[in-house]
Structure 1
Amino acid sequence: MAEITKLWIADKMKELMKQKPIDKIRVTEICRAAEIERPTFYYHFKDKYDLVAWIFFQSANKTDIVSVESAAESMKQMKRDFLFYKRAYEDSSQNALWAYMLEYFVQRYEKIAKEKLHTEVLDTQLKFSIRHYCYGSVGMTKEWLLYDNTTSAEVVVEMMFNSMPQELYSALMYGQK
């Protein structure tokens, strides 16, 4: 039941974000649109930024980020939810979506690398490569989403994978160092 409520609130937030930026939306408006009381909102989310991050994570967790096909499908979904992601990317508050995205992908890649390398600790260079790659990927995703109407998601993802540092590619794809 809680998951259904969260999805309902998320859907209403997406609708509100089609009309105005995050910083202009108040929790009261979200509650009114979702026909819920404020305590219900705060039972599920810390604030509106937590809600926006949750929406992103719901989408991101459905795919395997280490395959071109599934990563491209995630990017296509971002295009389908264009106004939501546009508004989320435009937000420059301390809780901006890009910062959540960055940390999400860094943690996810580190976890995959640790599993594939059968280690609990990654060396400094590999950790740096992961952060470097994630910064670039999040930035290029934003650029593609907001400004590129011609390049397909598959081509963008392929270019991202081709730009991955060899050490990172080896760790993620083959579990080798």
Structure 2
Amino acid sequence: MSVITKKALAASLKKLMEKKPIEKITIKDIVKDCEVNRQTFYYHFQDIYDLLEWIFVTEGFNALDGKKTYDSWREGFLKVFKYVEENRGLVINLFHSLGRERLERFLYNEVYKLLKGVVEEQAEGLTVAEENKAFIADFYKYAFVGIMLEWIRTGMKEKPDAIIDKINKLITGDIHKALLKYQK
């Protein structure tokens, strides 16, 4: 029952965000649309942003599970782009709101996990300090998320496949080269 209620609350928030900015949505609006009481909302979530984060975790970023290898990062990142594209209203609303910081932080965290897995795989057999592997993953994280944020800012006009192809051409082999430069 708990997951069903969370999904219903999520659907209500997404529906409301199609019509108005997140700053203008109240918990009262969500529970009214969902036909539950405020206590039910607070039983599951601390606030609207907590619900929003749950939406991203459960819907969008499960795509990254198992996609943290050099051969599969493209597929995982493409799924993230497609999720953002499919939830355009919600994402653009959040992007242009006070919640943008949460969106960015969430993207940075999730993309870092993907890239850290790729870096770890590419580092097998090399002696590279953990701090250097983390730095390489951070470097690419900022590039990847920066590209995604600019894509959102400019209205998501370019196709996700085209963006992933460009990124792939740019970085093919470069993570391994970076690791070699940091090898002890």
> Aligned-pair RMSD on alpha carbons?
3.0
Superposed, which structure 2 residues align to 1:1-177 within 5 Å?
Answer: 1-58=1-58, 59-63=60-64, 64=67, 66-93=72-99, 96-110=102-116, 113-114=119-120, 123-147=130-154, 149-164=156-171, 166-167=174-175
Partner of 1:174: none
* Equivalenced residues, count: 171
Distance 2:101 2:38 in 1: 20
Identify if the C-alpha distance between structure 1 residues 18 and 122 changes in structure 2 by more than 3 Å, giving closer, same or farther.
farther
C-alpha displacement at 1:111, in angstroms? 5.1
Distance 1:148 1:20 in 2: 18
C-alpha displacement at 1:60, in angstroms? 1.2
Distance 2:110 2:156 in 1: 26
Is the contact made by 1:72 and 1:153 (CA closer than 8 Å) also made in structure 2? yes
| Unmatched tracts of structure 2, length 5 or more | none
Is the contact made by 1:114 and 1:122 (CA closer than 8 Å) also made in structure 2? no
Alpha-carbon deviations, 1:41-69, whole Å to 9, x = none? 12221211111111111211134364323
Alpha-carbon deviations, 1:121-142, whole Å to 9, x = none? 9622221221222122222112
Report which of the two structures shows the higher radius of gyration computed on alpha carbons: 2
In the superposition, the TM-score normalised over structure 1's length comes to: 0.79
Alpha-carbon deviations, 1:109-163, whole Å to 9, x = none? 3356457757xx9622221221222122222112213415542211112223344
| Unmatched tracts of structure 1, length 5 or more | 172-176
Task: Give 1:154's aligned amino acid.
Answer: D
Task: Give 2:130's aligned amino acid.
Answer: D
